[in-house]
Amino acid sequence: MTDRRGRIAGRRTAGALLAGLLLASACAAPDDGSAPDSTARGVRAVLDRRAAAVLHHDPDAYLSAVDPSATGLRTAQRRELDNLADVPLASWTYRLTDVREQSTDRVTADVRLSYRIAGYDAAPVSADRVLDLRRDGADGRWYIADDRAADGGGLLWQQGDVQVVRGRHSLVLGVGRTQEELRRIARTADRAVPAVSGAWPRRWAGRVLVLVPHTVEDMAGLLGAPAANYRGIAAVTTGRTGGPDRAPADRVIVNPQAYGMLGTLGQRIVLTHEITHVATRADTSAATPTWLSEGFADWVAYRTEHRTAVQAAPELAAAVRRGDLPAELPTDEDFGFAGDSARLAQAYEGGWLACELIADHWGEKKLLAFYRAVGGHPGRDGAVEQAMQEVLATTPQDFTAQWRESLRSLLG
């Protein structure tokens, strides 16, 4: 989720903890009959050795799982492990989800890599991989002959050496960026985190993990999407929505080109907006419309910045002055990255002014209660209607009329 203004050394684990991680990385053999249990056990043993090698940062052990004849893969894998050297990993496990025999000595395995960054990930981040493996006739062991993403998404350390900067409330991981640039981002994030906590008194981690790839193309590679979707977007937040039983693992991913074009205020607004998504994730659900989640993040970002409505909503102000007053609150489709940029800007501005209206007319506590009530609804249907009735004592129709009138008053 992003704002159109541009939103739009290492710790090692060993001993008893490592033993527990190795147990966690094992999994039952696939039960679909695609491969014998002995094959699945052999592949699983390779993955367990590989996980242990990552946590120990042991290049020899890591490469021992790779086919000796796959020289290109071995070079790439060695470089990838070196790139990880300073990343503070708390866990690294593999789960074997499927094994398909290609021949008597070759298989293709579907694997889920899960890892946690120490001190920042409340739950593991997962990436699905596809591995081709070959069994050596001499020793009977399986070796990885190819390793690729299952869904097109990549990992930061596959893009280059990861530089690590620790802030007071942040951890910034960057590739191909200068230390000073990463330190500036950490300082901005460190200022944004307390601002978010001041607006969102609900308990949250109170810290943020920021990824800074080298280019917008690299950013898109992490997200598994076309680079064109993010060229004007300075940052996005990843993570799944849901309640506390589905603890999120969020990252703010920065587009260094778009972010770098912003001034100090713009950069602060961007990171405050994105960090608000991190803080509110547990109370955001499929029931939450985009106008509310994005509008609330903007409301937090602008809350102490003393910007006028016209300054913060220039596109919508221009539309209102042309007589093009929106008939309804922004739809989810209005927030599409690949759509019209003016429409996208007006959607964000309209969502922000809707949340601003609630805070001004009903109070900030009511805005927070409304946000939580909508996110706590079992589904999208009726979520806003019920929350408006129970928290704000109004209806969507009356609220929309009041919102449109506020647009005329503030922007006309």
The structure tokens 């221009």 sit at 318
Sheet holding 125-135, edge to edge: 89-103, 106-117, 125-135, 142-149
Rounded CA gap, 156 and 84, in Å?
A: 9
Q: What is the DSSP letter of 171?
A: E
- CA atoms of 388 and 371, how far apart (whole Å): 10
Handedness of CA 325, 412, 303, 338 (dihedral sign): positive
Q: Which two tokens stand for residue 339?
A: 């759509």
**Which of 7, 83, 87 lies closest to 255 in space, CA to CA?**
7
Q: Which residues belong to CATH 3.10.450.50 in the chain?
A: 15-151
**Shortest CA distance to 224 belongs to which of 176, 312, 118, 153?**
153
User: pTM score > 0.85 for this model?
Assistant: yes
Looking at the chain, the domain(s) classified CATH 3.30.2010.30 span 153-282
| Confidence at residue 336, expressed as pLDDT on a 0 to 100 scale | 82
Q: What is the pLDDT of residue 4?
A: 37
Q: What is the pLDDT along the chain (412 residues), one digit of tens a residue?
A: 543 344 333 332 223 322 333 333 334 344 444 556 889 999 999 999 999 999 999 999 999 999 999 999 999 999 999 999 999 999 999 999 999 999 989 999 999 999 999 999 988 989 999 999 999 988 889 999 999 999 877 899 999 999 999 999 999 999 999 999 999 999 999 999 999 999 999 999 999 999 999 999 999 999 988 898 888 899 999 875 444 444 455 899 999 999 999 999 999 999 999 999 999 999 999 999 999 999 999 999 999 998 999 999 999 999 999 999 999 999 999 998 666 788 999 999 999 999 999 999 999 999 999 999 999 999 999 999 999 999 999 999 999 999 999 999 999 8
Query: How long, in residues, is the chain?
Result: 412
Is domain 153-282 in CATH 3.30.2010.30, yes or no? yes
Tens-place pLDDT, residues 69-112: 999 999 999 999 999 999 999 999 999 999 999 998 999 999 99
Across-strand partners of 117?
A: 89
How many other CB atoms are found less than 10 A from the CB of residue 17?
12
Alpha helices, DSSP H, located in 162-208: 179-199
- Distance from C-alpha of 35 to C-alpha of 401, rounded to nearest angstrom: 62
Topology classification of domain 15-151: Nuclear Transport Factor 2; Chain: A, (3.10.450)
Can you give the pLDDT at residue 224?
A: 87
Give how far the C-alpha of residue 10 lies from the chain's centroid of Cα atoms, to the nearest Å. Answer: 22
At 377 the three-state DSSP class reads coil
Of 189, 53, 50, 166, the closest CA to residue 117 belongs to 166
Report yes or no: 90 and 125 within 8 Å, Cβ to Cβ: no
Helix (H, G, I), strand (E, B), or coil: what is residue 222? Answer: helix
In contact, 350 and 295? CB cutoff 8 Å: yes
Q: Give 211's strand partners.
A: 173, 253
User: Which residues on neighbouring strands pair with residue 254, listed in sequence order?
Assistant: 235
